[in-house]
Amino acid sequence: MLQLPHQPLQVAAVPPQRSPAREDQAGPWHSEAVCRRDEAGLFFAPSKEPTAARLAREEAAKRVCARCPVMVDCREHALLQPEPYGVWGGLTAAERRVVLARRRRREVELRKAATAGDRIAAAG
């Protein structure tokens, strides 16, 4: 793990609400989120944050996410919105972009396969 000099961690202001646009039937998942308690500053980058500090902060945020009971709900929220900043559901914005790109490719492949299957069924 990357060790940084002992300096106070500067964090950006956290957006006023880390909640989804809608709530599911079982109630708001975000009310159980560990990050809502006391570590929310870890999840968003301060302006002009050095790379080493950003990586260390993101790893610390991911450790919080790893013990969160609603991590999967949070991740799906961030992927569906899509949230452009911060660590959500244990993924950084860049990691979420990769997941979304993979999902889009998978959807295209499934559509191609379905179209090919329809053609075979029509020909048979």
pTM listed for this prediction: 0.68
Listed residue (122, 124, 123, 49) closest to 92, CA to CA: 49
In angstroms, rounded to a whole number, what is the distance separating the alpha carbons of residues 8 and 103? 38
Where is the binding site, in residues?
35, 65, 68, 74
In angstroms, rounded to a whole number, what is the distance separating the alpha carbons of residues 40 and 14? 7
Which pLDDT tens digit goes with each residue over 60-84? 999 999 999 999 999 999 999 989 9
Where is the binding site for [4Fe-4S] cluster, in residues?
35, 65, 68, 74
Which pLDDT tens digit goes with each residue over 15-44? 434 443 444 445 688 888 888 876 667 899
Which pLDDT tens digit goes with each residue over 85-104? 999 999 999 999 999 999 99
